[in-house]
């Protein structure tokens, strides 16, 4: 009875229908893309460049100027000149030679006395013209008697000098050729023709042959006539010597009291060097002694 009552109360059973599952796309269908050109395809595959940075704002302040550093070249200094040994340990000046000659009873008429006396006389006489010379000599000296330097206003560094002294009565052109050979055998500091001048010193003035030989020579050379009393009576040089530093230097004469041009004590003329027309001062205290 209970079962029949329950069947009456429950609704009738519906027939079972199989379920059908259907899915719809959440994204709407896209149309077919339009094919790109070759340039567009390349730009599509290339990475996108960032935009250029904005131009800087105008700066009214002046830009700093580059600082120029001055480069100074240190002055070049030539190595010191090395002089050969003195030919005699007993004398180095004219007074010491005269004392030595007196002690040893050296004959004043001998060749050694005359030649040595003339070399020292020349050394002291040329010192007044700013030539600082030393007496040298020995074996294989190529006839060089004096070596030193010559300070001139036309040069920043002194001119190097080598000299031959010839105490002969009649100097000739052959002495110029001997001086040319001295350039070849000069010591290291005086070797060559750059910044060096050779001077031939004799007791007599230069002859025409000596002048012509000097003019023809390719070596820078000069000639000095110096008396036995130490008076310079002639001073000349060739064109090559001018090129080495004597350009603008001249020779003149002036009246001087107490030192005559003939070697006496009276007033007379004496030779002076000039620079651009003005007399160069003598170096006093280093003149000839004797």
More confident residue, 279 or 267: 279
**In contact, 90 and 100? CB cutoff 8 Å:** yes
More confident residue, 49 or 96: 96
Q: What confidence score (pLDDT) does residue 230 get? A: 95
Exposure of 61 in the CB half-sphere (CA atoms within 13 A): 3
What six digits make up the tokens of 286?
A: 């280093």
Length of the chain: 290
| % of the chain beyond a pLDDT of 90 | 53
Dist. CA 233–CA 253, nearest whole Å? 10
More confident residue, 51 or 92: 92
Range of weakest confidence among 35-39, 143-147, 155-159, 177-181: 35-39
Q: What confidence score (pLDDT) does residue 63 get? A: 46
Residue 278 parent element (H or E): strand 278-279
What six digits make up the tokens of 208?
A: 């025409």
Cα 288 off chain centre by: 35
More confident residue, 141 or 94: 94
What is the Rg, in whole angstroms, of the alpha carbon atoms belonging to the chain? 53
Dist. CA 276–CA 155, nearest whole Å? 14
- Sign of the Cα torsion 98, 101, 105, 111 reads negative
Q: What confidence score (pLDDT) does residue 7 get? A: 57
Q: What confidence score (pLDDT) does residue 54 get? A: 55
Range of weakest confidence among 25-39, 71-85, 190-204, 252-266: 25-39
Q: What confidence score (pLDDT) does residue 185 get? A: 87
Range of weakest confidence among 110-119, 235-244, 258-267: 258-267
Strand partners, 273: 251
Q: What confidence score (pLDDT) does residue 118 get? A: 96
Residue 242 confidence (pLDDT) above 90: yes
More confident residue, 146 or 58: 146
How much is the average pLDDT of 233-241? 96
More confident residue, 256 or 84: 84
Residue ranges of domains in the chain, CATH in brackets: 94-247 (3.40.1350)
Dist. CA 109–CA 115, nearest whole Å? 10
Q: Which 3 state secondary structure label does DSSP give 248?
A: coil
**In contact, 199 and 223? CB cutoff 8 Å:** yes
| % of the chain beyond a pLDDT of 70 | 66
Mean pLDDT, the chain, as a whole number?
A: 78
What six digits make up the tokens of 19?
A: 């379920």
Q: What confidence score (pLDDT) does residue 85 get? A: 82
What six digits make up the tokens of 126?
A: 């040329």
How much is the average pLDDT of 73-84? 68
Q: What confidence score (pLDDT) does residue 268 get? A: 80
What six digits make up the tokens of 178?
A: 């001997």
What six digits make up the tokens of 212?
A: 């012509």
More confident residue, 173 or 67: 173
Q: What confidence score (pLDDT) does residue 16 get? A: 52
First and final CA of the chain: distance in angstroms?
A: 183
Q: What is the pLDDT of residues 17-57, one digit of tens each?
A: 444 443 333 444 444 444 444 444 444 445 555 555 555 45
More confident residue, 134 or 255: 134
């Amino acid at each position: 009875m209970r079962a029949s009552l329950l069947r009456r109360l429950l609704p009738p059973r519906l027939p079972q229908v199989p379920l059908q599952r259907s899915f719809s796309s959440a994204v709407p269908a896209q149309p077919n893309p339009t094919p790109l050109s070759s340039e567009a395809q390349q730009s599509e595959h290339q990475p996108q460049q960032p935009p250029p940075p904005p131009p800087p704002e105008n700066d009214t302040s002046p830009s700093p100027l580059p600082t120029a550093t001055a480069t100074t070249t240190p002055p070049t200094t030539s190595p010191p000149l090395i002089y050969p040994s003195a030919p005699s340990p007993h004398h180095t000046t004219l007074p010491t030679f005269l004392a030595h000659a007196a002690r040893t009873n050296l004959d004043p008429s001998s060749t050694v006395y005359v030649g040595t006396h003339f070399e020292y006389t020349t050394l002291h006489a040329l010192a007044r013209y700013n030539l600082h010379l030393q007496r040298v000599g020995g074996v294989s000296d190529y006839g060089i008697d004096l070596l030193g330097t010559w300070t001139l206003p036309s040069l920043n560094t002194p001119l190097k000098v080598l000299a031959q002294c010839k105490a002969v009565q009649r100097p000739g052109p052959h002495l110029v050729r001997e001086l040319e050979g001295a350039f070849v055998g000069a010591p290291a500091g005086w070797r060559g023709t750059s910044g060096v001048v050779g001077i031939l010193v004799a007791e007599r003035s230069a002859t025409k042959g000596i002048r012509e030989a000097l003019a023809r020579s390719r070596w820078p050379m000069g000639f000095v006539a110096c008396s036995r009393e130490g008076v310079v009576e002639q001073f000349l040089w060739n064109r090559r010597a001018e090129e080495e530093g004597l350009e603008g230097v001249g020779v003149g004469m002036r009246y001087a009291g107490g030192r005559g041009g003939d070697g006496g004590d009276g007033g007379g003329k004496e030779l002076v060097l000039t620079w651009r027309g003005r007399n160069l001062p003598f170096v006093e205290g280093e003149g000839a002694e004797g």
